[in-house]
A and B are shown apart, each in its own frame.
Chain A
Amino acid sequence: MKKIEAIIQPFKLEEVKEALKAIGVDGMTITEVRGHGRQKGHKEVYRGQEYQVDLLPKVKVELVVGDDRLDEIASALAGAARTGKIGDGKIFVYDVAQAIRIRNDDRGDSAL
């Protein structure tokens, strides 16, 4: 099992959800986060007071998938989230030791 953690542009969330649904991915967890990579922030000016805003709003999408579907799902996610411009975000993949469905104590792939 692998965990896919994607940091994406907030306005791309709907497209990512649709793309994942289209290939049969049922579950995911979404968090509103702030951050930046190589993308520079922006400048805000309030009555002459300038503020450099480095941490920009992003959305973190987390989902755990079986090893066999990792590439397919990661590609679909990246494809939907891509604009081709700086600031599109990143995808990280982790090994997952165990998954447990709380409702009935299913373990491993059958818990996904």
Chain B
Amino acid sequence: MKSAKLLTTLLAVASFPAAAQEAAADKLAALESSVSAAQTSGDNAWMLVSTALVLLMTGPGLALFYGGLVRKKNILGTMMQSFIMMALATILWTVVGYSLAFGEGSAFLGDLRYLMLNGVGGAPNADYAATIPHQTFMFFQMMFAIITPALITGAFAERMKFSAMLLFMTLWSLLVYYPMAHMVWGKGGMLNAFLGGSVPCFDFAGGTVVHITSGVSALVCALYLGKRLGYPTEPIKPHSLVLSFIGACLLWVGWFGFNAGSALSAGSLASSAFLATHLGASAAVFGWLAMEWIQVGKPSILGGISGAVAGLVVITPASGFVTPGSAMIMGFLGGVVCYFMVVKIKNKFGYDDSLDAFGVHGAGGTLGAILTGVFATNAVNNALKDSAGKPAALGLVDGNGGQIVNQLIGSAIAWGLAIVGTLIILKICDMTLGLRVSAEDETEGLDLSQHGEEGYNLDT
């Protein structure tokens, strides 16, 4: 209809005098602006929903998932560690974080142009997302800055001081997350494949930025803080897999916002990422359960939900680049590999990564980052053009095997930054506040010792 109308207008323009031509041009401009406004409101609606979905992943999703896995004396302390990030990371992001991550600075870190969100308003930032308000883009990315540090809390569960945790998370956001986000997603970042990075690395929704950084930092934390009292000789069982189940399912749903929202628009790429995300999770459930059924003899609900999260992690960097078939292969492999890391490797080396933040996010994130270099294809995502202006070959399946090297470099940088940054930060926290609660407080539980309350007062 619109194009027919346009054609009539154009035909009319050809035979009319100058004044009429001017009127027609005005009409055309008005038409263009209303088309673009319509696209903006469509894209913006999806992005605001996605933003809310990603917040839902941290609270209550992750808080419930982790909360159910600890002993009941630590349920509130554990949930608080996720919840407080919803407030803390938000403030940090607003004051300085967004600017350091997405300001156009060096290859490693952004500048201070968006300090206090200065200049981040309704007008789109065409470098990042041309059809949504810059503010929406900033807001969406804020939710990633919340959940990423919150993931680490699984490694030091049941034994870290709340005060030390606040300092750790503040410094970690500044020293690890913002630089990594800038390198991969920020304009001028050295790993940014779409905005001129020197080592183009594909990370659609955060395999390196979110999962490798948090997962590897988690391992460093687990090693530095040491084991929980009684681990692994005394029984330290999850106190409520029911809560963990609810949390994992909320994570699964929230992940649609995380991955499909990373299309930064509401078009076909969002649909494709949405589907890949769902397939990755589904296939990983079977990957984990198959291993467990064969090795332990019984498929467990904890295994099922752990597999789902592992699959979601693995598919995250690839979600906007791979076909449904590849997504299922990646998810299944994620379930198997993360099972192996959590059940075999952890027990072999004996570190107390209490809730398996490294085994799932560190291992899954690395696997996902590498496999993205294998399965990424321009049949799904043709945003990247070669010198001739045609869609560039993306991964090995497109004949670009060298991309795997780039993915390895990106992963290695994320590993290095996470290890060095986290070690420095832990040292600072250790020397100033002390990292661990006293043995007495640990035995009493974080709920009472850190917060002065109990999660369950069922006999009152």
Query: Which residues does A use to contact B, with CB under 8 Å?
Result: 44-49, 51, 53
Contact = CB atoms under 8 A, between A and B. Distances in A.
B238 interface: yes
Given A46-B300, A48-B342, 15 more contacts: A45-B296, A45-B298, A45-B300, A46-B237, A46-B238, A47-B303, A47-B306, A47-B342, A47-B343, A48-B343, A48-B346, A49-B236, A49-B347, A51-B237, A53-B235
9 contacts: A45-B296, A45-B300, A46-B300, A47-B342, A47-B356, A48-B344, A49-B232, A49-B347, A51-B237
Contacts, number: 26
B347 A51 contact: no
Given A51-B235, A51-B237, A46 B344 contact: no
Interface string B344-359: 1011000000001000
Nearest to A45: B296
Interface of B: 232, 235-238, 296, 298, 300, 302-303, 306, 342-344, 346-347, 356
Contacts of A45: 296, 298, 300
Contacts of B232: 49
A53 B344 CA distance: 22
Contacts of A51: 235, 237
Contact of A44 (B237, B342, B356): B237
Contacts of A44: 237
B232 to A, nearest CB: 7
Contacts of A46: 237-238, 300, 302
Contacts of A47: 302-303, 306, 342-343, 356
A45 B300 CA distance: 9
B195 to A, nearest CB: 40
B222 to A, nearest CB: 14
Closest 6 CB pairs of A and B: A48-B343, A51-B235, A45-B296, A47-B342, A48-B347, A46-B238
A100 B365 CA distance: 69
Contacts of B296: 45, 48
Contacts of B303: 47
Nearest to B355: A47
The listed residue with most B CB atoms (<10 A of its CB), out of A44, A45, A47, A53, is A47
Nearest to B238: A46
Nearest to A47: B342
B9 to A, nearest CB: 66
B270 to A, nearest CB: 33
Contacts of B298: 45
B435 to A, nearest CB: 24
Contacts of B300: 45-46
A48 B232 CA distance: 12
Nearest to B342: A47
Nearest to A49: B232
Contacts of B235: 51, 53
Nearest to B232: A49
B158 to A, nearest CB: 14
The listed residue with most B CB atoms (<10 A of its CB), out of A44, A45, A48, is A48
B424 to A, nearest CB: 30
A72 B238 CA distance: 45
Contacts of B343: 47-48
A85 to B, nearest CB: 21
A57 B188 CA distance: 62
A47 B237 CA distance: 10
A45 to B, nearest CB: 5
B244 to A, nearest CB: 10
Nearest to A48: B343
Contacts of B236: 49
A71 B300 CA distance: 46
Nearest to B347: A48
A53 to B, nearest CB: 8
Nearest to B300: A45
Nearest to B346: A48
A46 B300 CA distance: 8
